[in-house]
Structure 1
Amino acid sequence: MFRLRTRIMISFSLIIVIGTILMVTIINITTRTGYRSFAEQNDIDIARSMTIPLEEYYTGTGSWDGVESILLFPLNRTSQMRGMMGRNPGPGGRTGGMLPHIILTDSSGRVLINTDPQISEDRDRYSRDELEKASKIIVNNRTVGYLLVGTMIHQGLTVSEQIFLNKTMVVILAVSLLILTASIIASWLIASRLSGPVSQMSLAAQKVRGGDLSTRVSVWGHDELSELSGSFNEMVQTLEKNDRWRKQIIADSAHELRTPVSLIQGNLEMILDGLYKADEERLRGIYDETLVLSRLIEELQLLSSAESGTMNLNLEEIDPEALLDNVLKVFTAGAEKSRIELRNRLEGTSEPLSGDYQKLKQVFANVLANAFRHTPEGGFIEIRSHMDGKNLTIEIEDSGPGIPPEDLEKIFERFYRTDSGRNRNHGGSGLGLAISREIIRLHGGKIRAASPEGKGAIILISLPFKNR
């Protein structure tokens, strides 16, 4: 199987070879046709220039006797250009230095003068049809003779003309061969340039398939191949990031599940060994741990379905103000008990949203529960809203210690806690905000965190209106 570079080079080379052959063929045909046309026109001009002195000669003498003495002189000057263009005399070519082949006939077509009888087969007469191209010699409105020059006599090129054209073609072929060689070398370089990144990505893909997610390819230039290389690097980087997340999720899940399982196992072992009594209080504690374990598993399943896009949303028209009022009522008693002021600053929330009521209720409950965990006694939690174009933005602010700048994006990751020393009993499962982010994303909205210096945390949730 040919490699990509070889296939590209062969393709380019075939195109170049075919193009060169066509070019040489066209140049050859064009050169010969053009030279032939030039020769014919030049011979016509020579013949016309010679008819004037020949007409004067015939007018003065009344015959063609002795015309040989003046036949050569007027031609020398006119034939200079033709001679410089390569139509030099040679064997079977011209007589008289640079003069072309000339035939003079009388009015009946009988040959009077033939400067090269070998070429014209020493003919003594030409027919009317053969004299159609000849230059007429007219005296007193009467045709007294015909003059044939060069191509009017013989249709083909002379030997010297053929030699000139052959030499020209040799030069053209030599130049074409140089161009062909340079083009093949250039095609090899282009093929290497095009196939290099592809080969590099092929090797990198094999390494990635083998599990080496640290593999990267070089990115050169700003063309499609460089974009492909950049996309490959981004893809591998995403795979590497997802792999790290997967390992972290497994480790975090195992850690979170280990605590309730260990408590359940420890208590049961103590009961089986007779160290603890299986009384209601002991069994209630074990039961509570199973509830924690069950809730954690449910949250993991919920987050997994949200991230994979398999979560089903029961979309309906939602009054955001009524939704938020219901959520706030759940926390009213807890706020009074903890002496936390719960401020309701909802404005302009009468326009309906389209969403899953229970899922959105869970989002706001998660955010408020998180705010309560971080708000000290005597603090406040404020919920406010405003319209932002086609979206409704809801802000939930607390008077807690705030969020470090480096943690503003991380708080929406699984099992992430701003205080690493806080466990699930005091800091929640670490899945609430991650679940909230995915639910909001499925609704076409956005959720982010802010923490102005000297203030608490602010969670901003934007959701699109139904009719905008």
Structure 2
Amino acid sequence: MISMRKQLFALLLCVGTLTILITALFVNATIHTEFKNYIEDNIQKTSGIIVRQLEEIYDNEGSWNETLEESLLTNTQIGKFSVAILNPDKELIWGKTKEELAQEIEDLEYPFFYLPQMMQFKDKIYTFQDIPIESEQYGLVGYARIGYFPSWLLSTSDIDFQAGINRSIIWSGLIALVCFASIGAYITRLFTKPIYAIARTSVDLAEGKYYTRYNKHSSIKEIENLRHSMNYLAQKLDEQDTLRRKLISDVSHEIRTPLHILQSNLEAMIDGIYPIDEDQMQVLYQEVVRFGSLLSNLDKLKNIEDSTTDLHKQELYMNSCIKEVYNVFKIVAKERHIHFKLDLKQTDHVTVYADYNALKQILMNLFSNAFKFTEEGSIRVYTTIEEKMVCMYIEDTGIGISKEDLPYIFERMYRGDKSREKYEGSGIGLTMVKKLITEHQGKVEVLSEEDKGTTMIIKLPLIHHTKSKTLKSLFPKE
């Protein structure tokens, strides 16, 4: 298996190499084309000069004479061309043939490395063109046959220039390839180094080192998001591990107390210290009931986490459900002298799609908690409509929740230190509330300040405002 870094580097290098090759081929082809056009332009210019010189010679002499070659060589540079003069019937009068031109090229003393390039097309490519020679006095007097080897037309400067361009292309390609390799190495390191570090962090987490974090920031958004996600996972695992340890401690404490009492009383009875009478048996019975209650709570917790209960949802009046539970707790409020206020004006005739028993269980748990932790003061329940959600607020002036306990109140079997000894409870009520609300596509939030009170906020999806007679018969409006 090849590492991501090697694969990414190889990919970038291949793309760079391919780009360089394509660019080099394109530049080389462009230069070759331009050189070809350059040579053709020179041929046309030279051919025109030769023909004009021949026309002037004929005008001056009135015929082709023996001094023709000398006059032509004096006035033009025709050493690279074979020039022949034909009569109007294209019969050879005078001139140099292809073979003579080739022999002249072979006899020239050029550097060894230029000669093969000049001679490579000698026997394969020979080009000529017949251009009419028209005298001002005599009209058409013949044709000038101008022939040449294309490779011979390149001067040493031209060849040097072409070789220099080719060397520049090669060096540019090599430099560009080195740059691609360097950039590729940097990019692969930029991507893979944090990924490897995050991978090592995940391995540490898998080994139970929940304190591990990766704190080196990245300029790449996706990697930074991955880092945040990994650290958030580590934080949650650390918190869950803390909760697990605390749960074990709590369960051990709760189980140890009744067992210790049972053991002490039974030993005292066996030793004859305590009489085996109805009072002592009642004490043992209460501890057995307490122990059984704890085990029952553990069973409830398991049922909550593995719940597959089908909810029988229907359209219900939110206000009617709240009022039904409110009436149950009015007596408790009166007995404890707690001011209990209800305000449901904003949600009159509002319906939600919910399971009646589940909704009632949610309300019972929340109202019960409010009264449990409020010894004096007031409890206020009111509703609003916010962004297509029915919101219920339960405000109390109870003991509140500390900042340390607030993030964990919905965790299973969690009980804050302040309520552990003084207030009874299993620690699964809010866990059940959150699960049921989540199954109704709702939300539950909590705002609290220690010694000042708590506000529980329940949000359920709003269906619509209705005055259905069926719903009124089920929950008559008060």
Shift of 1:286: 4.5
Give yes or no for contact 2:445–2:457 (8 Å, CA) kept in 1. yes
Alignment gaps of 5+ in structure 1: 77-93, 123-129
Task: Using the aligned pairs only, state the percent identity.
Answer: 26
Q: Which residue of 1 aligns with 2:140?
A: 142
Q: For 1:177-236, what per-residue CA distance to the aligned partner results, in whole angstroms no more than 9, with x for missing partners?
A: 232233323323333333222332333333333222223333321243333333333333
Q: Tell me if structure 2 keeps the 8 A contact 1:424–1:430.
A: no
The structure-2 alpha-carbon separation of the partners of 1:134 and 1:237, relative to structure 1 and needing over 3 Å to count, comes to farther
Q: In structure 1, what is the Cα distance between the partners aligned to 2:326 and 2:159?
A: 105
For 1:57-114, what per-residue CA distance to the aligned partner results, in whole angstroms no more than 9, with x for missing partners? 32332223233354356657xxxxxxxxxxxxxxxxx74xxxx435232232527344
Q: Report the equivalent of 2:357.
A: 358
1:209 aligned residue (206, 209, 213): 206
The residue that corresponds to 1:340 in the other structure is: 338
Give distance in 2, aligned partners of 1:432 and 1:368. Answer: 11
- Is 1:177 the equivalent of 2:174? yes
Give yes or no for contact 1:381–1:396 (8 Å, CA) kept in 2: yes
Task: Check conservation: 2:133, 2:144, Cα contact below 8 A.
Answer: yes
**Judging changes above 3 Å, is the alpha-carbon distance between structure 1 residues 421 and 171 closer, same or farther for their aligned structure 2 residues?**
closer
Counterpart CA distance in 2 for 1:364 and 1:208 is: 39
Assess if the C-alpha contact under 8 Å between 1:106 and 1:145 holds in 2.
Answer: yes
Residues 182-201 of structure 1 mapped to structure 2, 5 A cutoff? 182-201=179-198
Q: Distance in 2 between matches of 1:230 and 1:138?
A: 89
Q: Is the 8 A contact 1:51 1:147 kept in 2?
A: no
What's the C-alpha RMSD, in Å, of the aligned pairs? 3.7
Question: Contact 1:215/1:236 (CA < 8 Å) preserved in 2?
Answer: yes
**Distance apart, 1:158 and its partner CA:** 5.0
Q: Which residue of 2 aligns with 1:112?
A: 94
**Secondary structure of 2:129's match?**
coil
Structure 2: gaps (5+ residues): 105-125, 466-478
Contact 1:349 1:392 in 2 (8 A): no
The residue aligned with 2:114 is none
- In the alignment, the residues of structure 2 paired with residue 396 and residue 223 of structure 1 have an alpha-carbon distance, to the nearest angstrom, of 41
Identify if the C-alpha distance between structure 1 residues 449 and 24 changes in structure 2 by more than 3 Å, giving closer, same or farther.
closer
Residue 253 of structure 1 is matched in structure 2 by: 251
Which of 227, 230, 238 does residue 229 from structure 1 map onto?
227
1:273-352 equivalent positions in 2, closer than 5 A: 274-276=272-274, 282-303=280-301, 306=304, 312-347=310-345, 348-352=347-351
Which of 423, 427, 430 is equivalent to 2:427?
430
The match for 2:395 among 394, 397, 405 is: 397
Q: Would you say 1:450 and 2:447 are equivalent positions?
A: yes
Contact 2:130 2:143 in 1 (8 A): no
Looking at structure 2, the residues matched to 205 and 288 of structure 1 have their Cα atoms a distance apart, in angstroms, of: 48
Q: TM-score, normalised by structure 1?
A: 0.78
Q: Which residue of 2 aligns with 1:91?
A: none
Partner residue of 1:154?
Answer: 149
1:367 maps to 366
- 1:393–1:170 distance in 2 versus 1, CA, 3 Å: closer
Distance 1:62 1:308 in 2: 120
SS in 2 for 1:186: helix
CA distance in structure 2 between the partners assigned to 1:240 and 1:111 by the alignment = 107
Contact 1:374 1:401 in 2 (8 A): yes
Q: Distance in 1 between matches of 2:432 and 2:450?
A: 27
Whether the aligned pair in 1 keeps the contact of 2:255 and 2:291 (CA below 8 Å) is yes
CA distance in 1, matches of 2:127, 2:439: 95
Separation in structure 1 between the aligned mates of residue 274 and residue 330 of structure 2, nearest angstrom: 39
Q: Distance in 2 between matches of 1:337 and 1:380?
A: 13
* Partner in structure 2 of residue 64 of structure 1: 64
Seen in structure 2, the aligned counterparts of structure 1 residues 428 and 147 have a Cα distance that, compared at 3 Å, is same
1:147-170 CA distance string (max 9 Å, x none): 52xxx5224455745555334323
Of 458-467 and 159-168, the range deviating more from structure 2: 159-168
How far the C-alpha of 1:38 sits from its partner, in A, is 1.9
Equivalent position amino acid for 2:353 in 1: S
How far 1:294 moved relative to its partner? Answer: 4.4
Instruction: Measure how far apart 1:443 and its partner are.
Output: 2.0
Q: Which runs of 4+ in 1 moved over 6 A?
A: none
CA distance in 1, matches of 2:13, 2:321: 72
In 1, Cα distance between the equivalents of 2:201 and 2:451? 49
In the TM superposition, residue 39 of structure 1 has moved relative to its aligned partner by: 0.5
Distance in 2 (alpha carbons) for counterparts of 1:353 and 1:179: 67
Distance 1:344 1:230, change over 3 A: closer
Contact 1:359 1:439 in 2 (8 A): yes
- Please report how far the alpha carbon of residue 445 of structure 1 lies from its aligned counterpart in structure 2 after TM superposition: 1.9
Letter in 2 for 1:71: L
1: distance between equivalents of 2:357 and 2:177? 74
Q: CA deviation at 1:417?
A: 4.9
On the 8 A contact 1:445/1:464 being kept in 2, the answer is: yes
Q: Normalising to structure 2: TM-score of the pair?
A: 0.76
Which residue in 2 is equivalent to 1:88? none
